[in-house]
Amino acid sequence: MDGVIWKSDAPIGDLPATFNRIRERGLKFVFATNNGTKTPEEYQEKLRDLGVEVETSQVVTSALGIAFMLSQTFPRGTKVFMIGEDGIRVALEEKGFEVLSVENAPQAQAVVMGIDRGISFQKIAEATLLVRAGIPFYTTNTDRTFPTPRGEIPGSGAWLSVVTTATGVQPNVAGKPFPYLMELALERLGTTKEETLVVGDRLETDIAAGQAVGCPTAFVLSGVSKLEEAAAWKPSIIADDLWKLVE
């Protein structure tokens, strides 16, 4: 979504026309985003405000991915200290996990990190203490930056690097470039990997994730990565933006 559909709240191109064209071509689509700040319902509302109607089942986020990952290892009721926003909180609570406040962080049985625009030194300190004590460590994604109309700002990976530097521990990653979100998207679409095009603006996450599951990939120049970087990744298609791609 970020860098392909919009930058922050600014749409990239004429989104209603783009998605009308996608539907005219008879193509199915889902959104697979490393940005876990919002719930699928909130993304649905944001897209509707920009003139694009979708079902919540067409939105797959790293927050859903991380909640699923934890549910494969920990029972319902497990106490989780989370650095993140409502998208992660809701996904964890829907899987039955107890999300702890900063004050109750020492009780945590797992640590989860994602983008948090209310991040503080206290949150980072608590996460560091828990990870150094051996508490299992997870993150939604490792994207270093986040695109906005003015330029790139610190992403989840930038804040994550504070904890990894302080602890020497690398987290388990739910989002791209790891294949879980791609596999979930394929399941939602009901398509094979060979007939599914992965579109993204970030080579080291979006394109790498598509290639990891064996899908053809389309790199768009509307977001973070630059054209001169593409040669090393060999995407199947390069286009200026999503509209140019579907045309």
DSSP code at position 31: E
- Domain with 152, as residue range(s), is 63-173
- Looking at residue 39, its amino acid is T
Please indicate, yes or no, if residue 227 is contained in any of the structural domains.
Answer: no
pLDDT value for 148: 86
Please indicate, yes or no, if residue 97 is contained in any of the structural domains.
Answer: yes
Is the pLDDT reported for residue 193 higher than 90?
Answer: yes
Please indicate, yes or no, if residue 29 is contained in any of the structural domains.
Answer: no
CA pair distance 103, 109, nearest whole angstrom: 15
For the chain, list the strands marked E by DSSP. Answer: 6-7, 10-11, 31-33, 59-61, 79-83, 98-100, 110-113, 137-139, 145-148, 151-154, 172-173, 198-200, 217-220, 237-239
CA pair distance 60, 174, nearest whole angstrom: 12
Please indicate, yes or no, if residue 137 is contained in any of the structural domains.
Answer: yes
CA pair distance 66, 84, nearest whole angstrom: 12
Helix (H, G, I), strand (E, B) or coil at 136: coil
| pTM for the full predicted model | 0.87
Q: What is the CATH number of the domain that holds 159?
A: 3.40.50.1000
The total domain count for the chain is 1
Q: List residues bridging with 237 in a β-sheet.
A: 218
Is the pLDDT reported for residue 134 higher than 90?
Answer: yes
In this prediction, residue 216 has a pLDDT band, given cuts at 50, 70 and 90, of very high
CA pair distance 25, 29, nearest whole angstrom: 11
Please indicate, yes or no, if residue 125 is contained in any of the structural domains.
Answer: yes
For the CA atoms of 180, 47, 39, 118, the dihedral, rounded to the nearest 10 degrees, stands at: 110
- Looking at residue 212, its amino acid is A
In this prediction, residue 4 has a pLDDT band, given cuts at 50, 70 and 90, of very high
Please indicate, yes or no, if residue 102 is contained in any of the structural domains.
Answer: yes
Please indicate, yes or no, if residue 202 is contained in any of the structural domains.
Answer: no
pLDDT value for 33: 94
pLDDT above 90 covers a percentage of the chain that reads 88
